[in-house]
Amino acid sequence: MKARISPLRKPVGAEGIRVPGDKSISHRALMFAALAGIARWLGGFDALNALGVKQESLAIWVVGAFVMAFVLVHAIRYAGATGAAQGAAVGFFNWLGFVLIVILEEYAAARYAFKLVAIKSGAYLVELVVMGIILASWA
């Protein structure tokens, strides 16, 4: 399956778009995701191009960072987490319940190297814990 990203032919209207819940929560999620996405992009197209990573993949990573931050900030709010330790805990438990399980299921089905499981799950663990710390501490 190929995904194709192309420029819009006309501006997208905001009709029918509703910002969920508290605007400050959504704003925090979007700002953090934007920073995470920019950091990935600044990591260098050269290194990623050398590995054969396409620009569509980078777009998916950026959108993924937005979605992950958006969901995590709501999980933090629902948990009532305040401060770095509670934010880290929310990030950890979201990783444990959603990310690690999916990666282990992929491993069980595909049987690729367990080192890859450790790398993938470890990267997501760090990302979610750091996001949790920043979002819960950001007042």
Q: Which residues form the domain of 108?
A: 23-137
Whether 98 maps to a domain, the answer reads yes
* 8 found inside a domain: no
Rounded distance between C-alpha atoms, residue 75 and residue 65, angstroms: 15
Higher-pLDDT residue of 129 and 14 is 129
Lowest mean pLDDT among 29-38, 56-65, 90-99: 29-38
What's the structural domain count of the chain? 1
Residue 94 belongs to a domain: yes
- Per-residue pLDDT, 23: 45
- pTM as predicted: 0.62
User: Within 13 Å and on the Cβ side, how many CA atoms surround 97?
Assistant: 8
Token pair, residue 67, equals 């979605």
The verdict on residue 13 lying in a domain is no
Q: Determine, yes or no, domain membership for 10.
A: no
Output b/e per residue, 97-114; b: 16+ Cβ within 10 A: eebbeebeeebeeeeeee
In a domain, 6, yes or no: no
Flag whether 114 is in a domain.
Answer: yes
71-121 pLDDT per residue, tens: 999 999 999 999 999 999 999 999 999 999 999 998 888 877 888 888 888
Q: Kindly state whether residue 118 falls inside one of the protein's structural domains.
A: yes
